[in-house]
Structure 1
Amino acid sequence: MSSTNISPTERKPKLLIVDDDESLLRLMSIRLSSEGFNVTSVDSGTQAIRLLFHTPFDVVLSDLRMPGMDGLSLFDEILHQHPDLPVIIMTAHGSIKDAVAATQRGVFSFLTKPVNHDELRKTLFQAVAQTGSNELGDWSADIITRAPDMIRLLKQAEQIAPKNVSVLITGASGTGKELLAKAIHKASDRKDKPFVAINCGAMPENLLESELFGHAKGAFTGAVQANIGLFREANGGTLFLDEIGDMPVSLQVKLLRALQERSIRPVGSATSIDVDVRIVSATHNNLKEAMEEQRFREDLFYRLNVVELELPSLKERFEDIPLLADHLLKLSAKKHGINVRKFANDAMNLLTKAKWPGNVRQLVNVVERCVALTTSKIIPASLVEQALSQETQYWPTLTEARDSFEYKYLCRLLQLTDGNVTKASELAGRNRTDMHKLMKKHGLDAAEFRIAN
């Protein structure tokens, strides 16, 4: 037996075989299972896509010519949905031209039938070595997931964590951007140094500058003592800049200079101080739109966005809702000393079907409310329904509250002025350019308000 077989103590790589030839499918499944692969087999590309939607695999082995969806069409769909998943294609109709075309499109390997088994085994192990395992280390223990999209994201995070590159985490509010930032820090070589976080949209510009870079004693009124600032506090570790899209443009210039020169100058000081920090930033805003509107510097964007990780919404990782709900229930029950074991089945169905505009943060609040109000060991659907219907179920962040107010204000203003942007600008005390930027930010069209009235 080949020395490349899986040892009994190792995790078996998960292999998906796709072929419409049932006898060949059965034979390959038996042989590859005996060599240490955890094999799942299906006889069509459509079945494979359906399976990949909820089950993670390490590698896919597919026939080229199949009824309906052929091997290359299956590969294209996998490339779109699971870009890091290697695909090996087999065909009895192989040619050099086909192989070149397939590998240029990103197919991991192209094998001609009848497949040489030693060559197949070697290629499969090479593909598995490229992807690694779906099992993640302790660094990600705080992130509860089984969703394929999240697992791929965490594997990408693990891959870039040891590299000293800046990371931009995007996604809607409440998706867990700070939690992912902490996980990246734990997986990096800086894990024994500080992790320091700040919300760039939660404080005025002058205070934010002092918080980031520090200030000298007497630098401004009230500065009765020096402050080292968060850059120096995070020295050797990671500085997490949350809601970076809300940072004032004038301060963006100073941040860019600090990142380029790897040094900071405290407010009121004439001396620069060298710092060694890894920057992880996050935003729920579209920074490319902000750059077009000159609200965010392009040079800073490319300095921060060496690697971008986009967190899916809770609704996009719906298979995680039961996992998260049970986990949060146990934490809340222990925290409050309440004897509650689980959600009733119909209660869990309600949680799974909810829209979750506030994402994981909102789920936390709903579970907390249910645990606090339950009078039984099993939380009933009626209590979940009550929690979901309460407007106070989810407390927004300052940025979310501000955006919500801004949107409602603009809608009422445009209704009041019959969609006349000039009149709306005058009432708001803003110029027309600013008004158009705000309307674009919130996806508002003045014509719709004219039609409505």
Structure 2
Amino acid sequence: MNPQNVLILDDDGDMNYALCRVLQNAGYAAHAATTLGQGLEQVRKKNFDAVFLDVRLPDGNGLSIIPDIIGQPSHPEVIIITGNSDPDGAELAITSGAWDYIEKTDSMTEIIATLDRAMDYRRERLGTKKVRQVQSLRREHIVGESPQIVRTLERVAQCAPGDVSVLVTGETGTGKELCAKAIHNNSPQASGPFITVDCAALPEQIAESLLFGHARGTFTGAVRDTQGLLLQASGGTLFLDEVGELPLSVQKIFLRVLQERMVRPLGAKKEQPCDFRLVAATNRNLDEMISAGTFRPDLAFRIRGASVELPPLRNREGDVHLLVEHYMALVADRNGWDPKECGSDVIAALEEYDWPGNVRELVHAVEFAVTAARHESQIYLKHLPPELRAKIVRKRITPDAEKGGLPKNFEYVADDESIPTMQEHRNKVVSQAEQGYLKHLLASTGGSIKRSVELSGLSQSRFYALLKKYKIKS
């Protein structure tokens, strides 16, 4: 059997040498790199089983390339190894897909033990062919091939079997209901019903009746026994969309249903068995709601048996083009129109946009564009929604400069042959403004990445990409 390949990405020469020797003695094939650039070049050329990744490297922050490493065809396990403890960095590493976050002060025995456990897990996954479960997964219109969405689909493949409750989180418009349907359609409950409850639109006065049902004569107008949504979902999946909006008065009763798997309709004398698989979704922070007293901690524990986090569209590199093509074809086919083509300038503009409304916003834009171009064979920028075009143009002309302020010391001599073009000048202004903003932001937060990301409004991946671009050390 060939030894498993392990890459050590660390600029500490002594650490590289020592860890390489220990790995080789343990039967691994050890390789080393000292910069992000070298490390990425190696993982793109060779299939690695694991990568030891330092956080602070000469050309940037190691955490910024976790998605790139995990997204390689061999899907290596990433183990962060650092000499600088950082709770925020540790949390970010794990949520980004790292196997573990360990310190260089740990003994070599502990470090190798961590690697061995990761490789045992990897062998088991490969042996049962779970790594590529995504290929046979029923996606339910979840389109994309970016590392971020592939990791999400792998998580769906892990959660779907069985009947454990699943909490789907993500920004508005990321596709939480599609994710819930994918879990349902890849589960043992697939042949049963899929019942959706929009908790945000659930009137508190009649919420209990709608969810649990009622007996005849319970209230004026109750002329017959009525089955609630929970009983309708029996044998299948109950999807609670925006579960954070579930009224507190209902949460206690619903918790008991989850515990006992029995439902008593309003006014009924007997309970009825109710067996459904629960999938809930929210774009709110349930932990903050628990602290505020607006969500029950025991219910949160029950609905978070497993979790799936959907990435925002702005972080899904390369997926915009695939989504546009998919929904263009879908809209044209639904209306019986000829297929459309999309100009490269349109795709480029859509890929530059941040999509605050995520996939839902993109779908609406595509529907508008295809409808506007129904008598033409190609979609042009002119066919996009006017408000979207306006935002794209504004971003192109003043990208993020308004946030950072403009540098003052730009002086050019009119007869200087090297005087820049307007675009070159603009790029320089924006570049300097972005650098100044990032340095000031990090200084004001004491170097806290988590707090800097929150204040800037940038995604974590975008924030790290900018730090790397301007060679700013976090």
Shift of 1:319: 2.0
- Give the deviation of 1:372 after TM superposition: 0.3
Partner deviation per Cα, 1:13-39 (whole Å, 9 max, x = no partner) = 9x896799xxxxxxxxxxxxxxxxxxx
Matched, 1:83 2:87: no
Equivalent-residue separation in structure 2 for 1:52 and 1:356 (angstroms): 33
Structure 1 distance, partners of 2:34, 2:379, is: 42
Question: 1:229: which partner in 2?
Answer: 228
Closer, same or farther: CA 50–107 of 1 in aligned 2, 3 Å: farther
The C-alpha deviation readout for 1:260-309, integer Å capped at 9, x for no partner, is 11111111212111111111111111111111111111111111112121
1:254-265 alignment, distance < 5 Å:
254-265=253-264
Distance in 1 of aligned mates of 2:282 and 2:197: 12
> Over the residues paired in the alignment, what is the CA RMSD in angstroms?
4.0
Structure 1 moving runs of 4+ over 4 Å: 15-20, 41-45, 48-53, 61-65, 67-70, 77-82, 84-87, 122-127
Q: Deviations for 1:166-218, whole angstroms, at most 9, x for unmatched residues?
A: 11111111111111111111111111111111101102113221121111122
Q: CA deviation at 1:382?
A: 2.4
**In the alignment, is residue 98 of structure 1 matched against residue 98 of structure 2?**
no
- Kept after mapping to 2: 8 A contact 1:59/1:127: no
Amino acid at match of 2:37: Q
Q: Is the 8 A contact 2:170 2:176 kept in 1?
A: yes
Equivalent position of 1:116 in the other structure: none
Maintained 8 Å contact 2:9/2:36: no
> Which TM-score applies when normalising by structure 1?
0.65
In structure 1, what is the Cα distance between the partners aligned to 2:113 and 2:167?
A: 31
Confirm or deny that 1:294 pairs with 2:299: no
User: What letter corresponds to residue 381 of structure 2 in structure 1?
Assistant: A
- Tell me the residue number matched to 1:150: 149
Q: Is the 8 A contact 2:369 2:383 kept in 1?
A: yes
Note the 1:28-427 alignment, pairs <5 A: 46-47=36-37, 59-61=48-50, 75-76=79-80, 80=94, 82-83=96-97, 97-104=107-114, 108=118, 128-129=126-127, 132-133=131-132, 135-374=134-373, 375-384=375-384, 386=386, 388-389=388-389
- What is the number of equivalent residue pairs in this alignment? 341
* Aligned amino acid, residue 377 of structure 1: S
Q: Distance in 1 between matches of 2:53 and 2:367?
A: 51
CA gap of 1:354–1:243, structure 2 versus 1, over 3 A, is same
**What amino acid sits opposite 2:250 in the alignment?**
L
- CA–CA separation in structure 1 for the residues paired with 2:346 and 2:177: 29
Q: Which amino acid aligns with 1:233?
A: Q
* Structure 1 pair 221–127 and aligned structure 2 pair: CA distance change class (3 A): closer
- CA deviations over 1:219-242 (Å, ceiling 9, x no partner): 222222221111111111110011
Separation (CA, whole Å) in 2 of partners of 1:191 and 1:309: 19
Q: Which one scores higher on RCO, CA 8 angstroms, separation ≥ 6?
A: 2
Measure, in 2, the Cα distance between the counterparts of 1:127 and 1:162. Answer: 15
1:100 offset after TM fit, Å?
Answer: 2.5
User: 1:361-408 deviations in whole A, cap 9, x for unaligned?
Assistant: 1111100000000142111122226361489xxxxxxxxxxxxxxxxx
Would the aligned equivalents of 1:86 and 1:107 in 2 still touch at CA under 8 Å? no
Question: What SS class does the counterpart of residue 226 from structure 2 fall into?
Answer: coil
- Tell me which amino acid in the other structure corresponds to 2:254: L
CA distance in 1, matches of 2:258, 2:320: 38
**Between the two proteins, what is the percent identity of the paired residues?**
33
Q: Equivalent residue of 1:222, what SS?
A: coil
The 1:331/1:85 distance shift into structure 2, 3 A limit, reads farther
**5+ residue gaps, structure 1:** 5-12, 21-40, 88-95, 110-121, 392-442, 444-453
**What are the ranges of 5 or more consecutive residues in structure 2 without an aligned counterpart?**
11-30, 64-77, 82-91, 392-454, 456-474
Q: CA offsets, 1:90-141, max 9 Å, x none?
A: xxxxxx94243243378735xxxxxxxxxxxx99856744862264324225
Contact 2:215 2:224 in 1 (8 A): yes
| 1:57-93 alpha-carbon deviations (Å, 9 max, x no partner) | 985455899x9699x9973189547526799xxxxxx
Structure-2-length-normalised TM-score: 0.63
- State the secondary structure of the residue aligned to 2:316: helix
Cα 1:266–1:124 change in 2 (3 A) is closer
Distance 1:342 1:16 in 2: 44
Deviation at 1:335, TM superposition (A): 1.1
Q: For 2:187, what is the secondary structure of its paired residue?
A: coil
- 1:238–1:143 distance in 2 versus 1, CA, 3 Å: same
The CA distance in 2 between the partners of 1:147 and 1:183, in whole Å, is 18
